[in-house]
Chain A
Amino acid sequence: MTFNPAILTDNWREILDGMALTILIWAAGTAIGLVIGLAVAVLQLFTNRWLAAPLTLYVAVMRGTPFLIQLFVIYYGGPFFGLDLTPLTAGIAGLALYGGAYFSEIFRAGFLSVPPGQIEAARMMGIGRLDIVRHVQLPQMLVIILPALANMTVLLSKETAVLSVITVNELTSVVQSIGSTTFAFAETLLFLALVYWAFLEIVTAAARRLEKRVGRFMLRTPS
């Protein structure tokens, strides 16, 4: 086994592009996923059950099936519905729908964690339902669910690697194709693992710091 780091330095431009795309996918998927998650949680909790039932099914399906299969359905099955998505859009949509299901469960738990007495009090004061969500529930629950949200966000960054299977040119795909054209599998794949590892460690550490900072606003909930 030989080890030739030049294979990586020769292709640094493509590798950087791959990293940038990975981060873009991650950011977009997480952002849209958070919106989906919040919307699903609100609709599940505050509307009638005819709307809530299909959403519950959506969450169960996204959590009970492999992400890879979901990507295949969206990317290869999309044209059936006239959705001719590029691999990148399909990938981001898939990541957002997948993450959204998990995020919705977190938001749901968050909504339920706010003491009902406060909501009753707010309602007595004549505050509208949406305003209660925005000014009473969200600020308090965000502090409580932040660790779970951060954890899921970190997990989603790892899922971006799966997008390489539907030919999105993100980091895994770029480095893997350099590996197979040069046959330098050891250099490229070990490098790839190190990059993800370092990235995950940094993101996890950042999430911990954020939790600590926000923890100051943590309410001592009356028991």
Chain B
Amino acid sequence: MFDVNLIIKSLPMLLQASVWTVIYSLSSVAIGFCIGTLVCAAGLSSSRLGRGFSAFYVSFFRGVPLLVQLLISYYCLPLIGVNVPSSVAAVGTLALCTGAYLAEILRGGFLGIPPGLIEAARMVGLSRAKILTRIEVPLAVRLTLPSLVNETTMMVKASSLISVVGVLELTRLAQNIATSTFQPLEIYLTAGAIYFVINGAITLVGGFAESRFRLEKAR
């Protein structure tokens, strides 16, 4: 029998755990955005070293499954003397991974900015850092909003993998309840539904932001 009571009983706990899912995934996107901006800026710079590093970074973090990256940070960080809570290591790994994807997305945005704008800013006497943070990043974000929103929903989904390295979030709690009640179907379907709602909300907010802030690429 499909046990609706179990779902009703465990829903509050699952919702509580989903708050952690949201916190972990959004903070990794936020940190990953900073990483992505730097990696992207390095990739578009005139320095050969910077471009090489950027290409290496993107290729590695997009070429290795996230699960393997998480296992490495979980098992290997203590070996080199880094003892941080597993949640910190996991969020750091998510951020490094999404940073590579965000760098690729932002690249398109940076390339879409009319060079005249940057020249004008330089003429006005803005510093390199100010041009990046005040002009290039905001414009790149507005040009690439749909992809950025999509990447955020991808990270919400990817954050379920951190359950494997023992971080308590929605998937991990669902696993715990499923193994203790022997009713996995109900619990996992509920967890799936919660992820679906979270991503739906992000897409909705993203769509609203797109309609307000999105810029079409200048021709």
Contacts and interface: CB of A to CB of B under 8 A. Distances in A.
Residue of A60, A72, A185, A192 with highest tally of chain B CB at under 10 A: A72
A65 B79 contact: no
A172 B67 contact: yes
Given A73-B188, A77-B188, A165-B164, A196 B63 contact: yes
Nearest to B196: A64
B65 A69 contact: no
A69 B68 contact: no
Contact of A201 (B59, B157, B159, B196): B59
A200 B58 CA distance: 12
A190 interface: yes
B160 interface: yes
Contacts of A196: 63-65, 68
Given A72-B184, A192-B68, A65 B192 contact: yes
A212 B140 CA distance: 29
B171 A76 contact: no
A196 B63 CA distance: 7
B108 to A, nearest CB: 15
Contact of B71 (A70, A160, A189, A197): A189
B10 to A, nearest CB: 15
B174 to A, nearest CB: 8
B68 A66 contact: no
A193 B160 contact: no
B76 interface: yes
Contacts of A64: 153, 157, 195-196, 199-200
A73 B190 CA distance: 10
Contact of A186 (B67, B79, B159, B195): B79
Interface string A162-191: 101100000010001001000001100110
Contacts of B65: 158-162, 172, 196
A196 B199 CA distance: 29
Given A64-B153, A65-B192, A66-B159, 4 more contacts: A72-B175, A80-B185, A158-B65, A193-B68
Contact of B195 (A66, A80, A165): A66
B165 to A, nearest CB: 11
A105 to B, nearest CB: 12
A67 interface: yes
Nearest to A73: B188
B80 A1 contact: yes
A8 B71 CA distance: 17
Nearest to B157: A66
Interface residues of B, number: 40
A61 interface: yes
Contacts of A1: 79-80
A68 interface: yes
Query: Which 7 A/B pairs are nearest by Cβ-Cβ distance?
Result: A77-B185, A76-B184, A66-B160, A161-B65, A185-B75, A200-B63, A66-B157
Contact of B60 (A66, A172, A197, A204): A197
B31 interface: no
Interface in B54-78: 59-60, 62-69, 71-72, 75-76
Contacts of A159: 65
B168 to A, nearest CB: 15
Contacts of B185: 73, 76-77, 80
Residue of A1, A68, A204 with highest tally of chain B CB at under 10 A: A68
Contact of A69 (B60, B72, B153, B195): B195
B184 A77 contact: yes
Nearest to A188: B75
17 contacts: A61-B192, A64-B157, A65-B196, A66-B171, A66-B195, A68-B160, A68-B161, A68-B163, A69-B191, A73-B189, A158-B64, A161-B67, A176-B71, A185-B75, A192-B68, A193-B64, A197-B59
